[in-house]
Amino acid sequence: LLQMLEFFYQIGHNWGVAIILLSVAIYLILFPLSIKQLRSMKQMQELQPKIEELRKTYKDNPQRLNKEIMELYRRHKINPLGGCLPVLLQIPVFFALYQVLIRSVALKGAKFFWIQDLSLPDKIISLPGTYPLIGNSINILPILMSVSMFFQQKLSSATQMSSSSEQQKMMLILFPIIFVFIFYNMPAGLVLYWLVNNILMLVQQVRMNRIKKTETVS
């Protein structure tokens, strides 16, 4: 991974640009799986009304409910776990990049826009004291990443007014907030990598939604 970063550094002459190019390259490598993930999520979203009907019909029989839901997925050729694969494949890259950022001498003090050191959190404002979860600084990148996650989930979430959709609405807000605090004190380069990946996924989701609307109209 460090060799790939060094290659992209020769192109962009900046470590921040190198991390962005790395994120784009890995996104393109995983692009076929990402497309399958988005299609699977869209198909599951379209099946939500039928799943809600099954929940009402078999609310007192959980085993039968699970069986009927799996049968519904089988008939529509949907793998409910298929959407997890691209994320799982990103995890080794995530941890490897973390090690590169904290161990590589070349990245110590590497600047990118307002970021003074890509191997440290992107502190933009120092606070007068130390506070729980956020420490003593305001970091922008984790907040931007959280916003991108919010819109990414919003595009992929179901819109039915039901108990399950209420849970989705809760997770729509809660999940990005949790990730803000998980990533808040991570190296800025790592958060930058994840932010770029989120933006690329978001753009692809918007594109697929527009194609779907066009097909529906025609």
Predicted confidence (pLDDT) per residue in 11-32, tens digit: 988 999 999 999 899 888 888 7
C-alpha 24, offset from chain centre: 14
143-153: pLDDT as tens digits? 998 888 888 77
Mind listing the pLDDT tens digit for each residue in 166-189?
666 677 778 888 888 888 888 898
Indicate the pTM of the whole model: 0.74
Q: Which amino acid is at 157?
A: S
Q: Which residues are CB-neighbours of 48 under 8 A, at least 6 positions away?
A: 158, 160, 162, 164, 165
| Pairwise pLDDT comparison (191 vs 209), residue with the higher score | 191
The predicted-structure confidence for 82-93, as pLDDT tens digits, reads as follows 556 666 777 888
Residue 41: alpha-carbon gap to chain centroid: 13
pLDDT value, residue 159: 40
Count the residues in the chain: 218
pLDDT tens column, 54-76: 888 877 778 888 888 888 878 77
Residue 77 zone, left/alpha/beta (φ > 0; ψ -120 to 50; rest): left
Question: pLDDT > 70: what percent of the chain?
Answer: 83
Task: State the average pLDDT for the chain.
Answer: 79
Residue predicted with more confidence, 120 or 82: 120
- Least confident range of 106-110, 121-125, 159-163: 159-163
- The closest of 152, 148, 147, 154 to 168, measured between CA atoms, is 154
